[in-house]
Chain A
Protein backbone atom coordinates (compact mmCIF):
# COMPACT_ATOMS: atom_id res chain seq x y z
CA UNK A 1 0.00 0.00 0.00
CA UNK A 2 1.39 3.38 -1.02
CA UNK A 3 1.48 5.79 1.90
CA UNK A 4 3.80 8.38 0.36
CA UNK A 5 1.04 10.54 -1.13
CA UNK A 6 -0.74 10.98 2.20
CA UNK A 7 1.77 13.25 3.90
CA UNK A 8 0.62 16.45 2.22
CA UNK A 9 -3.12 15.83 2.39
CA UNK A 10 -3.64 17.76 5.64
CA UNK A 11 -1.76 18.71 8.76
CA UNK A 12 -2.67 16.48 11.70
CA UNK A 13 -1.73 18.00 15.02
CA UNK A 14 -2.58 17.80 18.70
CA UNK A 15 -5.74 19.59 19.82
CA UNK A 16 -5.21 23.09 21.15
CA UNK A 17 -7.47 25.23 23.27
CA UNK A 18 -8.09 27.43 20.23
CA UNK A 19 -9.70 24.41 18.51
CA UNK A 20 -12.42 24.19 21.17
CA UNK A 21 -15.05 26.01 19.15
CA UNK A 22 -14.38 23.98 16.02
CA UNK A 23 -14.48 20.72 17.96
CA UNK A 24 -17.66 21.57 19.88
CA UNK A 25 -19.48 22.43 16.67
CA UNK A 26 -17.79 19.80 14.51
CA UNK A 27 -20.11 18.23 11.98
CA UNK A 28 -19.55 14.80 10.50
CA UNK A 29 -23.12 13.57 10.69
CA UNK A 30 -24.29 12.27 7.35
CA UNK A 31 -27.99 12.08 6.43
CA UNK A 32 -29.15 8.47 6.40
CA UNK A 33 -26.14 7.26 8.40
CA UNK A 34 -27.13 7.40 12.06
CA UNK A 35 -23.82 5.96 13.20
CA UNK A 36 -22.07 9.16 12.12
CA UNK A 37 -24.09 11.02 14.76
CA UNK A 38 -22.49 8.92 17.53
CA UNK A 39 -18.98 9.91 16.47
CA UNK A 40 -20.03 13.53 16.19
CA UNK A 41 -21.46 13.45 19.72
CA UNK A 42 -18.26 12.01 21.20
CA UNK A 43 -16.13 14.56 19.34
CA UNK A 44 -18.25 17.52 20.45
CA UNK A 45 -18.17 16.45 24.11
CA UNK A 46 -14.47 15.60 24.23
CA UNK A 47 -13.08 19.13 24.81
CA UNK A 48 -15.20 19.66 27.93
CA UNK A 49 -14.41 16.17 29.21
CA UNK A 50 -10.74 16.95 28.74
CA UNK A 51 -11.09 20.16 30.67
CA UNK A 52 -12.98 18.50 33.52
CA UNK A 53 -10.40 15.93 34.61
CA UNK A 54 -6.67 15.60 34.13
CA UNK A 55 -6.57 12.19 35.76
CA UNK A 56 -7.31 9.90 32.86
CA UNK A 57 -5.57 9.29 29.58
CA UNK A 58 -7.45 10.49 26.52
CA UNK A 59 -6.53 12.90 23.76
CA UNK A 60 -7.81 14.72 20.68
CA UNK A 61 -6.04 15.35 17.39
CA UNK A 62 -7.31 17.50 14.54
CA UNK A 63 -6.74 17.52 10.78
CA UNK A 64 -6.39 21.04 9.46
CA UNK A 65 -6.44 22.51 5.95
CA UNK A 66 -5.20 26.07 5.42
CA UNK A 67 -8.40 27.46 3.88
CA UNK A 68 -10.90 25.27 5.69
CA UNK A 69 -9.72 24.98 9.30
CA UNK A 70 -10.51 21.79 11.19
CA UNK A 71 -11.76 19.20 8.70
CA UNK A 72 -11.32 16.07 10.80
CA UNK A 73 -11.08 15.02 14.44
CA UNK A 74 -10.02 11.87 16.26
CA UNK A 75 -10.59 11.16 19.95
CA UNK A 76 -8.47 8.39 21.41
CA UNK A 77 -7.57 7.00 24.79
CA UNK A 78 -5.96 4.29 26.88
CA UNK A 79 -8.85 1.94 27.51
CA UNK A 80 -8.86 -0.64 30.29
CA UNK A 81 -9.86 -3.73 28.39
CA UNK A 82 -7.73 -6.53 29.73
CA UNK A 83 -9.58 -9.66 30.79
CA UNK A 84 -7.88 -9.94 34.17
CA UNK A 85 -9.09 -8.05 37.21
CA UNK A 86 -5.91 -5.99 37.22
CA UNK A 87 -6.74 -4.69 33.80
CA UNK A 88 -4.18 -3.62 31.30
CA UNK A 89 -4.92 -0.75 28.97
CA UNK A 90 -4.95 -0.83 25.22
CA UNK A 91 -4.90 1.92 22.59
CA UNK A 92 -8.49 2.73 21.67
CA UNK A 93 -10.04 5.01 19.04
CA UNK A 94 -13.15 6.46 20.67
CA UNK A 95 -14.35 8.50 17.67
CA UNK A 96 -13.10 9.62 14.28
CA UNK A 97 -14.90 11.99 11.96
CA UNK A 98 -14.19 13.91 8.75
CA UNK A 99 -16.37 16.70 7.41
CA UNK A 100 -18.45 15.33 4.57
CA UNK A 101 -17.02 17.61 1.88
CA UNK A 102 -13.44 16.54 2.71
CA UNK A 103 -13.84 12.77 2.60
CA UNK A 104 -12.12 10.33 0.23
CA UNK A 105 -8.80 12.18 0.50
CA UNK A 106 -7.07 10.02 3.11
CA UNK A 107 -7.76 12.35 6.04
CA UNK A 108 -9.29 9.53 8.09
CA UNK A 109 -6.20 7.41 7.48
CA UNK A 110 -3.97 10.30 8.56
CA UNK A 111 -5.96 10.86 11.75
CA UNK A 112 -5.97 7.21 12.75
CA UNK A 113 -2.27 6.78 11.96
CA UNK A 114 -1.30 9.86 13.98
CA UNK A 115 -3.41 8.71 16.93
CA UNK A 116 -1.83 5.25 16.84
CA UNK A 117 1.69 6.70 16.75
CA UNK A 118 0.87 9.11 19.57
CA UNK A 119 -0.48 6.38 21.84
CA UNK A 120 2.60 4.24 21.17
CA UNK A 121 4.82 7.23 22.00
CA UNK A 122 2.93 7.57 25.28
CA UNK A 123 3.69 3.96 26.16
CA UNK A 124 0.23 2.55 25.46
CA UNK A 125 1.44 -0.57 23.75
CA UNK A 126 -0.10 -3.09 21.41
CA UNK A 127 -2.62 -3.06 18.57
CA UNK A 128 -5.21 -0.30 18.52
CA UNK A 129 -8.83 -1.28 19.12
CA UNK A 130 -11.91 0.40 17.70
CA UNK A 131 -15.62 -0.35 17.38
CA UNK A 132 -16.99 0.30 13.90
CA UNK A 133 -20.62 0.22 12.81
CA UNK A 134 -21.25 -2.52 10.24
CA UNK A 135 -22.69 0.07 7.85
CA UNK A 136 -19.64 2.33 8.08
CA UNK A 137 -18.16 1.05 4.83
CA UNK A 138 -15.56 3.84 4.42
CA UNK A 139 -14.04 3.15 7.84
CA UNK A 140 -14.11 -0.61 7.37
CA UNK A 141 -12.51 -0.23 3.95
CA UNK A 142 -9.83 2.04 5.39
CA UNK A 143 -9.06 -0.46 8.14
CA UNK A 144 -8.85 -3.30 5.68
CA UNK A 145 -6.90 -1.64 2.88
CA UNK A 146 -4.51 0.51 4.88
CA UNK A 147 -4.07 -1.37 8.13
CA UNK A 148 -4.86 -4.99 7.16
CA UNK A 149 -6.95 -4.96 10.31
CA UNK A 150 -8.54 -7.88 12.12
CA UNK A 151 -12.33 -7.58 12.13
CA UNK A 152 -14.82 -9.66 14.12
CA UNK A 153 -18.43 -9.27 15.29
CA UNK A 154 -18.85 -7.35 18.55
CA UNK A 155 -20.50 -9.66 21.09
CA UNK A 156 -21.90 -6.63 22.95
CA UNK A 157 -23.58 -4.84 20.05
CA UNK A 158 -24.81 -6.57 16.88
CA UNK A 159 -24.55 -3.26 14.99
CA UNK A 160 -20.79 -3.04 15.56
CA UNK A 161 -17.62 -4.82 14.56
CA UNK A 162 -14.48 -4.99 16.69
CA UNK A 163 -11.39 -3.87 14.77
CA UNK A 164 -7.73 -4.22 15.76
CA UNK A 165 -4.84 -2.70 13.84
CA UNK A 166 -1.11 -2.26 14.44
CA UNK A 167 1.60 -0.13 12.85
CA UNK A 168 5.30 0.48 13.17
CA UNK A 169 7.25 3.35 11.68
CA UNK A 170 9.69 3.08 8.82
CA UNK A 171 11.90 5.90 7.62
Chain B
Protein backbone atom coordinates (compact mmCIF):
# COMPACT_ATOMS: atom_id res chain seq x y z
CA UNK B 1 0.00 0.00 0.00
CA UNK B 2 1.34 3.42 -0.91
CA UNK B 3 1.76 6.20 1.60
CA UNK B 4 2.87 9.69 2.47
CA UNK B 5 1.88 12.95 0.85
CA UNK B 6 4.07 14.70 -1.69
CA UNK B 7 4.73 17.41 0.86
CA UNK B 8 5.74 14.84 3.39
CA UNK B 9 8.03 13.28 0.83
CA UNK B 10 9.66 16.64 0.14
CA UNK B 11 10.14 17.16 3.85
CA UNK B 12 11.67 13.72 4.27
CA UNK B 13 13.96 14.34 1.32
CA UNK B 14 15.00 17.63 2.85
CA UNK B 15 15.75 15.84 6.10
CA UNK B 16 18.62 14.05 4.42
CA UNK B 17 21.53 16.46 4.14
CA UNK B 18 24.31 15.96 1.62
CA UNK B 19 26.57 14.96 4.52
CA UNK B 20 24.18 12.18 5.51
CA UNK B 21 23.81 11.06 1.91
CA UNK B 22 27.58 10.80 1.54
CA UNK B 23 27.78 8.67 4.68
CA UNK B 24 24.96 6.42 3.42
CA UNK B 25 26.58 6.01 0.01
CA UNK B 26 29.84 4.96 1.63
CA UNK B 27 28.12 2.55 4.00
CA UNK B 28 25.97 0.97 1.30
CA UNK B 29 29.06 0.14 -0.72
CA UNK B 30 30.44 -2.02 2.10
CA UNK B 31 27.26 -3.55 3.53
CA UNK B 32 27.42 -7.32 3.89
CA UNK B 33 24.59 -9.44 2.50
CA UNK B 34 23.04 -11.84 5.02
CA UNK B 35 21.23 -14.96 3.83
CA UNK B 36 17.70 -15.24 5.23
CA UNK B 37 15.06 -17.97 4.80
CA UNK B 38 12.48 -16.98 2.21
CA UNK B 39 9.61 -18.04 4.50
CA UNK B 40 10.16 -14.81 6.41
CA UNK B 41 8.65 -12.83 3.55
CA UNK B 42 5.60 -10.70 4.10
CA UNK B 43 2.29 -12.62 4.03
CA UNK B 44 0.13 -10.89 1.45
Q: Which residues does chain B contribute within 8 Å of A152, judged by CB atoms? A: 23, 27
Q: Which residues does chain B contribute within 8 Å of A155, judged by CB atoms? A: 17, 19-20, 23
- A149 and B24 CA atoms in complex are apart in Å by 12
Interface size class of B (residues with CB under 8 A): 35 or more
**Interface, chain B (partner A; CB < 8 A):** 1-6, 8-9, 12-13, 15-25, 27-28, 30-44
Q: Which residues does chain A contribute within 8 Å of B32, judged by CB atoms? A: 148, 150, 166
CB closest residue in chain B, given A76 = B3
- A83 and B25 CA atoms in complex are apart in Å by 8
- Shortest Cβ gap from A15 to chain B (Å): 6
* Secondary structure type dominating chain A contacts: mixed
Q: Which residues does chain A contribute within 8 Å of B12, judged by CB atoms? A: 77, 79, 94
- Whether B9 pairs with A162 at a CB distance below 8 angstroms is no
Q: Which residues does chain B contribute within 8 Å of A57, judged by CB atoms? A: 2-3
Q: Which residues does chain B contribute within 8 Å of A101, judged by CB atoms? A: none
- Whether A146 pairs with B34 at a CB distance below 8 angstroms is yes
